[in-house]
Amino acid sequence: MGFAPEFLAQPMSEGSTLSIGVPIGASILVFAWVMTGIYVRRANNEFDPINQKILEDAHK
Amino acid sequence: MKYSRILSATSAVLFMGLISVNFAVAGGAIEGEVEKQPVNMAAIVMFLLFVVVTLGITYWAARRTKSAKDFYTAGGGITGFQNGLAIAGDYMSAATLLGVSGLVFARGYDGFIYTIGFLVGWPIILFLMAERLRNLGKYTFADIVSFRLEQAPIRTLAASGALAVVILYLIAQMVGAGKLIQLLFGLDYAYAVFLVGILMMVYVTFGGMIATTWVQIIKACLLLGGGTLMALLAMSQFGFNLETLATKAVEVHKDGFKLMGPGSLLADPISAISLGLALMFGTAGLPHILMRFFTVTDAKEARKSVFFATGFVGYFFMVVCIIGLSAIVIVGTDSQFLTADGKLIGGNNMAAMHLAKAVGGNLFLGFISAVAFATILAVVSGLALAGASAISHDLYASVFKKGKATEQQEIRVSKIATLGLGMTAIVLGILFEEQNIAFMVGLAFGIAGSANFPVLILSMYWRGLTTKGAFYGGYIGLFTALALVVLSPTIWVSILGFEEAIFPYKHPALFSMTAAFFSIWAISKIDKSRQAAAEAARFDNQLVRSQTGLGAEGAAAH
């Protein structure tokens, strides 16, 4: 926003009032959330079992 | 005019109650005097309903709260989804609803950028912390910091950081709540503050963390529901078409097309960075947020709660932006909401309240007011519990009794501490009635970011941290933040009345956090004692536990 304010202020298309910044902003929000989701899924379904295995091995 | 007074006082309340937004919007949110009001029946009925339901929950929670673990962490049995809602509830105060929508109302796209910065920052921080917090902690964040360091000094430091934040935040909330109730109920300010203080004490002493969490969850649902409903009602006037809404908004707003692009919000880079740091890292050092990570079953649920919280907060921000944009068209062009010179009655932060009235009438306005009040109650309860556990678990059980207190004694002390904090909050709330307290929330965030956060994060990630480094560095951070706020324009000029501020910026975080991190690092490096070596040696143990959950606190079996 500090770097290219004009870019974000461009209209989305000819005759449109919403600027291109609106969908970009919205997708950043959604993107952050989706990334969170991906991390949580992987951590819970892949990393934790590995972790569990290490713990079990260590106890042997 | 009764309606406008309710609004201006509500705006005063929310102005003080809320973090970020006041930082960004330069002043001018409170206009008009706050006076006792004749009643808004709809608001009172809905608020009473909320109180009855939450007291019922407290009764139910009290019967389930038996051990210290139940009291501090709801038995560790909260699910990720529930905790996500509760954390989101801690973030989404009614003031977010009003403040961010006010920002969008005044500046358009800038308000949106603001929410993006806020939302994108905190999952990163939370991922750095959530899992390790859950694996290392028991009841308070001091448990983690003192995991391998010396108990007494470190717990004292952590508890003073926590208490400073809790008390500052409590005062701001109490004064705000007092003024809001005073307006909605026509009660004297003092009675209103008593009412909030007593309800808070009841929730926390009897229901502990279980009640506190459920009150927060209910409030989060109310706020999400109310916000969504308002956005839908408003959008129905534009045929649910965002493009139509934007076109109309640009037509009627004085900035015209500039509304849709970034403006001058972050014009001063130092203030912007400082504010950003305080928001991101301060939040990660707020004791009442940190303690929520001890209430979930395990690290898995801790991660999930970050996911749900991010989703709810992100959704809420988008809803709020729609509300702000709709307000430009619906409220900004309606003369009943404007003063003679074309400004919004009660200031820009009232945009959402006016919109509630415009789209849903007095009944809906009453509902939103009641939700605003419920929010404050939920937040003060969390704060009181966080403060009480710092006193009982850290100061009493670990420092004063050197870990020899029984669980019963510890619970008793934390209940007494809750009553003490409630009393203190009431007294301070009354003393500060006439004071300008807008700086207090900012100061609370500054301290959280400059004392609690550096010590906490370094204790988890840096082997070289020693007791001396954490102790002195933490206090340096705390006092630097305090001193810089006193010397800043907010207190030095506005309250003490000097001509020019010694410290030119409103937000101290950039400087006080640097001071804290640097002094913790430097003192730890200089510290070559045997104790320091032993502490570094214990890091491996801690690292394994933080990463794997080996030996972590489990959920209580119920």
- Please report residues of A whose CB lies closer than 8 A to that of B280: none
Beta-carbon count within 10 A of A38 CB: 11
Structure-token pair, residue A17: 């009032």
A58: containing domain: 35-60
Provide the total of helices (H) and of strands (E) in chain B, helices listed first.
22, 0
Disruptive mutation site among A10, A12, A44, A45 for chain B (greatest number of B CBs within 10 Å): A44
Q: Is B252 on the interface with A (CB under 8 A)?
A: no
- Residue A47 inside a domain? The answer is yes
Residues 85-144 of B with CB under 8 A from A: 109, 112-113, 115-116, 119-120, 123, 127, 131
Beta-carbon count within 10 A of B424 CB: 18
Q: Is A47 on the interface with B (CB under 8 A)?
A: no
Disruptive mutation site among A6, A28, A33, A59 for chain B (greatest number of B CBs within 10 Å): A33
Residue B45 near residue B369, CB atoms below 8 Å: no
pLDDT of residue B418: 93
Q: Is B545 on the interface with A (CB under 8 A)?
A: no
Residue B285 near residue B516, CB atoms below 8 Å: no
Q: CB-based contacts of B311: which residues, under 8 Å, 6+ apart?
A: A33, A36, A37, B84
Residue B466 near residue B151, CB atoms below 8 Å: no
Q: Is A37 on the interface with B (CB under 8 A)?
A: yes
- Please report residues of B whose CB lies closer than 8 A to that of A36: 123, 127, 306-307, 310-311
- Residue A8 inside a domain? The answer is no
Beta bridge partners of B344: B338
- Residue A18 inside a domain? The answer is no
pLDDT of residue B162: 92
Flag if A51 and B549 touch (Cβ within 8 Å): yes
Structure-token pair, residue B337: 């909401």
Q: Distance (Å) from the C-alpha of residue A17 to the closest C-alpha of chain B?
A: 5
Q: How far apart are CA B391 and CA B398, in angstroms?
A: 10
Flag if B307 and A43 touch (Cβ within 8 Å): no
CATH class of B2-25+35-437: mainly alpha
**Phi, psi torsion values for B78, nearest 5 degrees:** -75, 140
Flag if B113 and A22 touch (Cβ within 8 Å): no
Q: Is B555 on the interface with A (CB under 8 A)?
A: no
Flag if A5 and B112 touch (Cβ within 8 Å): no
| Nearest residue of chain A to residue B243 (CA atoms) | A18
**Per-residue pLDDT tens digits of chain B, which is 558 residues long:** 455 555 554 444 444 334 333 333 333 333 344 445 556 677 778 888 889 999 999 999 988 888 888 888 888 888 989 999 999 988 776 667 777 788 788 877 777 777 776 677 667 667 788 888 888 877 888 888 888 888 888 899 999 999 999 998 888 888 877 776 766 666 778 888 888 899 999 999 998 899 999 999 999 999 999 999 999 998 888 887 777 777 777 777 766 666 666 665 555 677 777 777 877 788 888 888 888 988 888 888 888 888 898 889 889 988 988 888 888 888 877 777 777 676 776 667 677 878 888 888 878 888 888 888 888 888 899 999 999 999 988 898 888 888 788 888 888 998 999 999 999 999 998 888 877 666 777 788 888 989 999 999 898 888 888 888 889 999 999 999 888 888 877 777 777 777 777 777 777 888 898 899 999 999 888 888 878 777 887 888 787 777 777 766 665 544
Q: CB-based contacts of B330: which residues, under 8 Å, 6+ apart?
A: B234, B237, B355, B358, B359
Flag if B260 and A22 touch (Cβ within 8 Å): yes
Residue B21 near residue B99, CB atoms below 8 Å: yes
- Please report residues of B whose CB lies closer than 8 A to that of A48: 299-300
Q: How far apart are CA B131 and CA B297, in angstroms?
A: 11
Flag if A36 and B550 touch (Cβ within 8 Å): no
Q: Distance (Å) from the C-alpha of residue B262 to the closest C-alpha of chain A?
A: 6
Flag if B115 and A29 touch (Cβ within 8 Å): yes
Q: Is A1 on the interface with B (CB under 8 A)?
A: yes
- Please report residues of B whose CB lies closer than 8 A to that of A8: 109, 261-262
Flag if A9 and B261 touch (Cβ within 8 Å): yes
Q: Is A15 on the interface with B (CB under 8 A)?
A: no
- Residue A54 inside a domain? The answer is yes
| Nearest residue of chain B to residue A19 (CA atoms) | B260
- Structure-derived torsion over alpha carbons of residues B324, B327, B333, B338, reported in degrees to the nearest 10: -90
pLDDT of residue B251: 76
- Please report residues of A whose CB lies closer than 8 A to that of B135: none
Low-confidence winner among A14-18, A53-57, B45-49, B267-271 (lowest mean pLDDT): A14-18
| Nearest residue of chain B to residue A7 (CA atoms) | B261
Flag if B262 and A1 touch (Cβ within 8 Å): yes
Count interface pairs A-B at CB distance under 8 A. Answer: 97
Q: What is the CA radius of gyration of chain B?
A: 23
Flag if A25 and B550 touch (Cβ within 8 Å): no
- Residue A17 inside a domain? The answer is no
Q: Distance (Å) from the C-alpha of residue A14 to the closest C-alpha of chain B?
A: 13
- Please report residues of A whose CB lies closer than 8 A to that of B540: none
Flag if B262 and A5 touch (Cβ within 8 Å): yes
Residue B303 near residue B131, CB atoms below 8 Å: yes
Structure-token pair, residue B250: 């640009």
In chain A, the number of structural domains is 1
Residue B25 near residue B103, CB atoms below 8 Å: yes
Sign of CA dihedral B549, B550, B556, B558: positive
Disruptive mutation site among B103, B116, B244 for chain A (greatest number of A CBs within 10 Å): B116
Q: How far apart are CA B309 and CA B556, in angstroms?
A: 24
- Which residue spans within B328-433 are E strands per DSSP? none
| Nearest residue of chain A to residue B124 (CA atoms) | A36
Q: How far apart are CA A20 and CA A18, in angstroms?
A: 7
- Residue A14 inside a domain? The answer is no
- Please report residues of A whose CB lies closer than 8 A to that of B304: 40, 44
pLDDT of residue B387: 93
Residue B372 near residue B340, CB atoms below 8 Å: no
- Residue A56 inside a domain? The answer is yes
